[in-house]
Amino acid sequence: MTNSPLMAAVGAQSKSEVNQQPGWSANLALQFAVKGDRTKISGKSFRGPLAVQKPFYPEGDTCHVYVLHPPGGVVGGDQLAIELKLEEHSHALLTTPAANKFYRSDKRQSRLQQRFGVGQGAALEWLPQESIFFDQCNTRLDTRIDLAPDSRLITWDVICLGRPASSEPFRHGSIRQSLEIAQQGKMLLNDRLLIQGAGKMLTEPWGFDNYPVVGYLVAAPGTAFMRDKVREITGFEESVRLTTTLLNGLLVCRVLARRAELARRKLLQVWQLLRPYIVAKEAIQPRIWHT
């Protein structure tokens, strides 16, 4: 697979970074296609500390892949990129073996860029484990997903702000997150989030209301029936709050929680509920989630 413009851009520095020592530069590009009776990795390129294990097939035809980042954490100046391309009618589920960690920065910005293309009739499940953002980190996360007609998608992301269990709140630093989902060039979702250490968004009721864990799950195609089914399991718990809405054919769920495992458990419930409607299969959890 030849390098894409996204991969070529990884490691490029802004004017403010020219005189700063660079961090890790890593990229991973995977292409999936139907070969015989199952989806296989049909193309792969990588550079730096990003890799994948041999795929698993607990469902027979769906390709389960674990994305590995051996350093286990991201520091200021690191530039990571992941690109996925699913050919028509392929089905891949990707996750990570552990939580990713974004450590305190020396003012240099770390960046994770993700670009996913889902072909006609293909299905992508991008279900990474949570990311922990240490106090004083400076990070940018950009995700772009392009869908074809009849594409299917389930994706989630969970952000843990600081380490409350260790009495280390997120007092300083900056996290910029963007999520763009488009179909045939039409933007369905353009979500932007700026989290500043000690900012009002962390504490105010209109923001995170002192919940240190925030996350989302987006599924496509979404329907009013699915939205109502998710609302049936929402319930009311002080330790975890879930809302869901239907926007331009996308089912968008947002979660606030006191602890990462509570957010993960709630989104797992939603995934288990939605998966039969989205990809016509019961939910089979990757084994790595239980290790």
Domain boundaries along the sequence of the chain:
25-217+258-290
- What integer pLDDT is reported at residue 221 of this predicted model? 98
The C-alpha atoms of residue 126 and residue 152 are separated, in whole angstroms, by 11
pLDDT exceeds 60 at position 5: no
| pLDDT-based confidence at residue 12 (cuts at 50, 70, 90) | very low
DSSP letter at 74?
B
The model's confidence at residue 14, banded by pLDDT at 50, 70 and 90, is very low
| Segment holding 203, helix H or strand E | helix 200-203
At residue 164, the pLDDT reads 76
Tell me the pLDDT of the chain averaged across its residues: 91
In the three-class reduction of DSSP (H, G, I as helix; E, B as strand; rest coil), residue 164 is classed as helix
> By three-state DSSP, how is residue 271 classified?
helix
- Asked if residues 152 and 274 have their Cβ atoms less than 8 Å apart, the reply is no
Q: How many beta carbons lie within 10 A of that of residue 72, not counting itself?
A: 12
Q: Do residues 85 and 146 lie in contact, with contact meaning Cβ atoms separated by under 8 Å?
A: no
Q: What are the φ and ψ backbone dihedral angles of 233, each rounded to 5 degrees?
A: -100, 0
In this model, does residue 10 exceed pLDDT 60? no
Helix (H) or strand (E) holding 251: strand 250-257
| Percentage of the chain exceeding pLDDT 90 | 81
Closest CA to 159 of 31, 254, 37: 254
How confident is the model over 35-57, as pLDDT tens digits? 999 999 999 999 998 999 899 99
What's the whole-number mean pLDDT along residues 144-172?
Answer: 92
Q: What is the mean pLDDT of residues 54-78?
A: 92
List of residues 6+ apart from 164 with CB closer than 8 A = 212, 258, 259
**pLDDT(236) > 70:** yes
For residue 166, is pLDDT > 90?
Answer: no
Question: Are the beta carbons of 82 and 117 closer than 8 angstroms?
Answer: no
Per-residue pLDDT band for 65 (boundaries 50, 70, 90) equals very high
**By the 8 A CB rule, do 113 and 81 touch?**
yes
Per-residue pLDDT tens digits for 71-90: 878 999 999 999 999 999 99
- 24 vs 11: which has the higher pLDDT: 24
Q: The pTM is what?
A: 0.91
CA 38/CA 272 separation, integer angstroms: 22
Across 22-31, 80-89, 174-183, least confident range: 22-31
Quote the CA–CA distance of 27 and 45 in Å, as a whole number: 8
pLDDT for the residue numbered 282? 96
pLDDT class for 21, splitting at 50, 70, 90?
low
Strand partners, 45: 29
- Does residue 197 register a pLDDT over 70? yes
Burial (CB count within 10 angstroms: exposed 0-12, middle 13-18, buried 19+), residue 211: buried
- Cβ neighbours for 16, distance < 8 A, ≥ 6 positions apart: none
